[in-house]
Structure 1
């Protein structure tokens, strides 16, 4: 390890030791503190402290109590990098979280249209995603059906989406893989926006390979009433992501009570991954320390 990086990490450990003198997850694998949930950072979240190397970032995450990794862009990485990441996760006993099924610009190539070219492109990408999942140990892949099609009634669009997702489920189910549909708040033009809408589609597809990715940030913006809506859709939720609102930064920077949300999930026996799908409210190493602290604070429900 470079001397400068060693000093930087030592300085971070010293600072956190002052805050948690009796031990916490920030000390690494031998810490007395363990997160209740399996939180998954993504690459770049700790780049100022851990450096730019992907494997060094994984090591840093593991040393600080994080037991999973998300990487939306995994399908775009080289096979060599995918294999390196998989080996690092295995060495650190970490899980691989979601990556995005990305076969082009899914925001425009919408499954709602019923057009054969979009369906074929999506299903071909699903087949490629199976190979990526096998290499990386992933079990879940994010799917966004695309834009609302203004020239078609909503029921027809929904039928088109269900039809292609059934075909995709036939690809994933034999491999024990699950695509998770994510309702988003980025623009009103998106077809999939609400938890009950996503629930009904998953029920219609009727496969363990098609479930919900419930991102609390997006759902707070689109519908609110998070705990009640989680309960109503619970049987179809397979994966959780978080980010505070407004701003889409770490827990504690907005209006969502993440202490209560994480406790609620834990009491429902959720032991899956919680993806840290957000940015940082402060830059540099100080922001990365603040990020760790935010999850320590929000995880203190036991």
Structure 2
């Protein structure tokens, strides 16, 4: 979502030049793994995360893991994701739950999601990979099945797999439930990755209502030592907007 004025493969160099040590992106599947690996090694970047295949994105799919009619397709996607992850040194894969299919009871979607996550977790465990699930707000993706942090923790508990973790996106959870500080504090032992953007607008920290200096200080006090992905749309150019890192207390 950053450096979008550049072709995708050129964004790695831009990220390194801007001072980033690591990157993440949605999907690697349009590229040869060797292309991506070469960019990562050339610019000394770690790839922290990518998503499992989401289905037909252009047709509106946003994952399929809660859809019992697509479990076979989901399992093929898990193997594809693992193949890319092992080639690229990725130890976290985000599994998108998908939208609740029309006419499907939420209880059946929950059961399907748990079963599919158990399958993914078992396959990923063999490669030392964590499976992450992320609650996403239903304003940006109407009908998205997994949309609250408590729901995500219930699903993680039902999976009973040590490598299923919560991906906590501050922007999405501000829109869905607020109460950020207390929720982060309660969820932190099971958070495997975080992401950020401000709201309204989904721009960089400092452009909206979220008190990021307070949250960054809280994360330091709580001892969070994981990555935080910059999943926002820059208000202006990416490089011009990176001053927030210092102004909001997130370092240089």
Taking structure 2 as the reference length, what is the TM-score of the superposition? 0.89
- How many pairs does the alignment contain? 247
Corresponding position of 1:65: 19
Corresponding position of 1:161: 113
Q: Within 2, Cα distance between the matches of 1:222 and 1:53?
A: 31
- Displacement after TM superposition at 1:129 (Å): 1.0
Q: Within 1, Cα distance between the matches of 2:81 and 2:187?
A: 26
**Structure label with greater radius of gyration:** 1
Q: Within 1, Cα distance between the matches of 2:62 and 2:229?
A: 25
- Displacement after TM superposition at 1:177 (Å): 0.4
Corresponding position of 1:175: 127
Q: Within 2, Cα distance between the matches of 1:238 and 1:53?
A: 26
Q: Within 2, Cα distance between the matches of 1:219 and 1:140?
A: 20
Contact 1:75 1:99 in 2 (8 A): no
- Displacement after TM superposition at 1:220 (Å): 0.6
Corresponding position of 1:23: none
Inter-CA distance 88–218: structure 2 relative to 1 (3 Å threshold): same
Structure 1 stretches of at least 4 aligned residues deviating more than 6 Å after TM superposition: none
Q: Within 2, Cα distance between the matches of 1:62 and 1:289?
A: 11
In structure 2, the gaps of 5 or more residues are none
Contact 1:111 1:164 in 2 (8 A): yes
Corresponding position of 1:225: 179
Taking structure 1 as the reference length, what is the TM-score of the superposition? 0.75
Is it true that 1:194 corresponds to 2:194 in the alignment?
no
Q: Please, what is the CA RMSD of the aligned residues?
A: 2.2
Q: Within 1, Cα distance between the matches of 2:39 and 2:14?
A: 13
Greater helix share, 1 or 2? 1
- 1:1-302 counterparts in 2 under 5 A? 45-46=2-3, 52=7, 54-55=9-10, 57-89=11-43, 92=44, 94-105=45-56, 107=61, 110-115=64-69, 118-185=70-137, 186-282=140-236, 287-299=237-249
- Displacement after TM superposition at 1:234 (Å): 1.9
- Displacement after TM superposition at 1:271 (Å): 1.6
Contact 2:135 2:148 in 1 (8 A): yes
- Displacement after TM superposition at 1:146 (Å): 1.0
Contact 2:12 2:40 in 1 (8 A): no
Q: Within 2, Cα distance between the matches of 1:238 and 1:109?
A: 20
